[in-house]
Amino acid sequence: MTVHRRREWELPEKAVTSCHLLVHRRKAMTVFGASMLGFGVINEAVADKVTYPPGDLSGTGRFDPGRPITPEQIVTTYNNFYEFGLHKNIWRRAQKLPTEPWTIRIEGEVERPITISFDDLMKKMPVQTRIYRHRCVEAWSIVVPWRGFPMRDLVKFARPLSAAKYIRVTSMSDPKVMPGLSIPYFPWPYREGLWMPEAVNELAFIGTGMYDEAMPKQDGAPIRIVIPWKYGFKSAKSLVKFEFIRHQPETFWEQTSPNFYGFWANVNPKYPTPRWSQAYERALGEGRVIPTQIWNGYGRWVASLYSGMKHDRHLFM
Amino acid sequence: MSTEQRPKRRHAVFSSPLKDRTGCFSWVKTICLTLCVAPALYIAAWWVAGRLGGRPIHQAMLDTGFWAIRFLVLCLAVTPVRSWFDWSRLIQLRRMLGLTAAFYTFAHVTLYAAQQGFDMGFVLGQMVTVFYLILGTVATLGLFALALTSTDAAIARLGKKWIGLHRLIYPIAVLSFWHFFLTQKIDIGTALVPAGLTLWLLLWRASAARSRRSLARLASLAMGVAVITALGEAGWYALYSGLNPRLVLDANFSFSRWSAAQQLTADFALILLLIAMRRLLSFTIVQSR
Ligand code: HEM
């Protein structure tokens, strides 16, 4: 059970409009069905029915998610964290992860590679709260009040050289507490990556807590990335390494299922996975299905990053 | 069949789940019934205790689906197990196991609808358009048809046709497994183990009647199925993911974790051992008599 307290960064009830998001079910259904069968071009008219508020550009409403915050109980008990098991109910097991002390390695194309403890890093970073929508590639979504600091502050702290074009992040791999690592054919440890312009985009965030508390272990304690315009698997958890590199890194899911999940993984309702549609998402805790939006509705911040690139499946899976 | 001896009396819809055909209390049936109900109680208890995770309806939907397929496999196992263990009375469990599979399927589908807020337009739309749900739907309709024709009255009425109708259980099982495989995201191991067991049962049935009692034959089928499972697993990953199939195959020779083929081999070995013991035992009994 969660007791719902209003916190300072939380939006007033009236700001959290939901009526404009209502799905036009019948239409939605046929479109969803058609795209599932693979004839699918999503009817733009339907997808356009939902627009998230742009957010006023000052103060707390800046990243207004336009949807109610998901109950904490869901966000902390429904988790993909394959190191702990291939199902969602891993939160108990994840409690075994030792997070104190925790050291983070920053290396690669940087002025000076360093190893720093999580606590020392936190002393140097400007901690703040961001309420973001989080869209899982499995077509469900949540709205989470994260705590942490902008990723660009970490990049600044790392002082990358001009040769650094990408960042690769690596998750903890501890076979003593992570039974998933015993599957020998998966490319452990979990690795993800970002293109440098993405990493320094205002939205890219480093999560160190949520719901006003320290990060729960199942959600990636003590430190993870949060990239709200990309599918959830990009937002790697429990990080031990940030590497600044010259070439686009290979990522865990790209190596595991290249026809499902790629490096860019930007949210786009138009590009289904080979097995399911991405046109809609189940809003957990709200009991409804809503249309998915390109860039997860954050196009205002990030669409321009990709203006020089070809907008094909490659960019959206 | 012995039940058809009393033409005057109307057939009861079901015989009591606790009694055998002669009306005597049956331990075997009672234990079986308990085991059939237990998973449902277990799921319900976990739900109440809040242990099903952040999306309890979804989790219960997955769990009931898995139990549906397990009971389907158990139902298919009745005839082989009867024969292997010379335990003909086991036949009285077959209907119960089949109905249990149908009940868990019903729960599974109902929970699926519940998860969609019983928006039946959406649910039915999905059931006829999404490929893996089409498979599930056809299997479900089949299972329900078999369940409804499982009453004593229906068996009597359908006569010979009943057997033909109930052979549908095989295509239903194939569809159910296909559905199961397609729902798995990356790790198909959980689906491969029951699928391998089922394949073993089916291959046994397909073998010539005279070789069916041979333990060696059963063992060689088991070995074949274990190999097919290992190759199938590697093939699946080769086709559907970028994983190196060599590594997937190699995992069968590592002991860091039970691979599907290893689990199957252990299951097969255990069953074969039990059969051997059973035969040895009856042999000594016969000898000492
Ligand atoms: C109308 C019929 C059916 C529908 C709508 C349906 C729906 C579903 C859905 C939505 C999933 C979960 C996919 C996911 O989110 O991972 C699922 C999984 C599953 N279903 Fe069904 N299903 C149907 C019939 C059946 C039947 C007849 C069986 C077997 C007898 C079955 C066995 C399973 C199994 C074993 C799973 C996987 C559970 C797990 O991952 O643990 N389903 N089904």
Instruction: Note the pLDDT tens digit of each residue in A240-252.
Output: 999 999 999 999 9
- Picking from B55, B184, B257 by the largest number of A CB atoms within 10 A of its own CB, the best residue to mutate is B55
- Give whole-number Cα distances, B38 to A20, B44, B287, in Å: 45, 10, 40
Confidence of residue A59 (pLDDT cuts 50, 70, 90): low
Q: Is the CB of B181 under 6 A from ligand 1?
A: no
Say how many Å lie between the CA of residue B88 and the centre of ligand 1: 33
Mark whether B56 and B161 lie in a shared domain: yes
Query: Which tokens in the block code for residue B106?
Result: 């019903």
Residue corresponding to tokens 């229906």: B154
Mean of pLDDT values over B32-53: 94
| d(C-alpha B50, C-alpha A260), whole Å | 33
pLDDT of A178 strictly over 80: yes
The pLDDT assigned to B245 comes to: 86
Mark whether B38 and B125 lie in a shared domain: yes
Say how many Å lie between the CA of residue B65 and the centre of ligand 1: 5
Phi-psi region of A50 (alpha: psi -120 to 50; beta: other; left: phi over 0): beta
Residue A111 buriedness (CB in 10 A; 0-12 / 13-18 / 19+): exposed
Say how many Å lie between the CA of residue B175 and the centre of ligand 1: 11
Mark whether B146 and B201 lie in a shared domain: no
How far away is chain B from the Cα of A301, in angstroms, using its nearest Cα? 31
Q: Does a structural domain hold residue B12?
A: no
Q: Does a structural domain hold residue B2?
A: no
Q: Phi then psi for B237, rounded to 5 degrees?
A: -65, -35
Give the residue, by CA position, lying nearest to ligand 1 atom 40.
B62
Which DSSP string corresponds to B169-206? HHHHHHHHHHHHHHH-SS--HHHHHHHHHHHHHHHHHH
Phi-psi region of A297 (alpha: psi -120 to 50; beta: other; left: phi over 0): left
The pLDDT assigned to B14 comes to: 61
Say how many Å lie between the CA of residue B180 and the centre of ligand 1: 6
Chain B residues near residue A81 by CB distance under 8 angstroms: none
Mean of pLDDT values over A265-278: 90
Residue B27: its H or E element: helix B27-48
Query: Which tokens in the block code for residue B250?
Result: 């190699």
Mark whether B86 and B215 lie in a shared domain: no
Question: What's the structural domain count of chain B?
Answer: 2
Cross-chain CB nearest to B125 (options A33, A185, A256): A33
Mark whether B117 and B30 lie in a shared domain: yes
Give the residue, by CA position, lying nearest to ligand 1 atom 25.
B136
Q: What percent of chain B has pLDDT over 90?
A: 64
* Nearest residue on chain A to B251, alpha-carbon basis: A184
- pLDDT tens, residue by residue, B129-172: 889 999 999 999 999 999 999 988 899 999 899 999 999 999 99
Residues 165-194 of B with CB under 8 A from A: 182, 185-187
Question: Which residue range is the domain that position B146 belongs to?
Answer: 23-184
Is the minimum CB–CB distance between B23 and chain A shorter than 8 Å? Answer: no
CB distance A224 to A79 below 8 Å:
no
Query: Which tokens in the block code for residue A87?
Result: 């199902």
Q: Is the CB of B65 under 6 A from ligand 1?
A: yes
Q: Does a structural domain hold residue B136?
A: yes
Mark whether B212 and B191 lie in a shared domain: yes
How far away is chain B from the Cα of A23, in angstroms, using its nearest Cα? 12
- pLDDT tens, residue by residue, B181-199: 988 877 888 899 999 999 9
| d(C-alpha A225, C-alpha A215), whole Å | 12
Confidence of residue B19 (pLDDT cuts 50, 70, 90): confident
- Enumerate the domain spans of chain A: 13-316
Is the minimum CB–CB distance between A287 and chain B shorter than 8 Å? Answer: yes
Q: Does a structural domain hold residue B4?
A: no
Where a domain ends, among B184, B215, B248?
A: B184
Where a domain ends, among B184, B219, B244?
A: B184
Query: Which tokens in the block code for residue A128?
Result: 């703040």
Where a domain ends, among B184, B204, B230?
A: B184
B45 or B242, which is more confident: B45
Interchain contact, A88 vs B53, CB within 8 Å: yes
Interchain contact, B241 vs A256, CB within 8 Å: yes
Q: Does a structural domain hold residue B1?
A: no
Mean of pLDDT values over B49-75: 94
- Give whole-number Cα distances, B50 to A95, A264, B43, B54, in Å: 17, 36, 10, 9
Ligand 1 pocket mutation, candidates B62, B124, B128, criterion most atoms within 8 A of CB:
B62
Mark whether B228 and B244 lie in a shared domain: yes
Mark whether B31 and B143 lie in a shared domain: yes
| d(C-alpha A279, C-alpha A291), whole Å | 6
Q: Does a structural domain hold residue B15?
A: no
Mark whether B148 and B114 lie in a shared domain: yes
CB distance B248 to B237 below 8 Å:
yes
The pLDDT assigned to A21 comes to: 31
Residue B163: its H or E element: helix B160-166
| d(C-alpha A215, C-alpha B89), whole Å | 57
How far away is chain B from the Cα of A87, in angstroms, using its nearest Cα? 10
| d(C-alpha A282, C-alpha B62), whole Å | 17
Q: Is the CB of B176 under 6 A from ligand 1?
A: yes
Mark whether B198 and B169 lie in a shared domain: no
Say how many Å lie between the CA of residue B184 and the centre of ligand 1: 10
Q: Does a structural domain hold residue B80?
A: yes
Is the minimum CB–CB distance between A22 and chain B shorter than 8 Å? Answer: no
Mark whether B155 and B54 lie in a shared domain: yes
Q: Give the ipTM of the model, two decimals please.
A: 0.75
> Going by C-beta distance under 8 Å and a sequence separation of 6 or more, which residues neighbour residue B234?
B245, B246, B248, B249
Domain A13-316: CATH architecture, name and number where available = Alpha-Beta Complex (3.90)
Is the minimum CB–CB distance between A36 and chain B shorter than 8 Å? Answer: yes
Mark whether B88 and B117 lie in a shared domain: yes
- Report which DSSP code applies to B211: G
Question: How many residues are recorded in chain B?
Answer: 289
Query: Which tokens in the block code for residue B72?
Result: 């389907």
Q: Does a structural domain hold residue B13?
A: no
Mean of pLDDT values over A114-132: 96
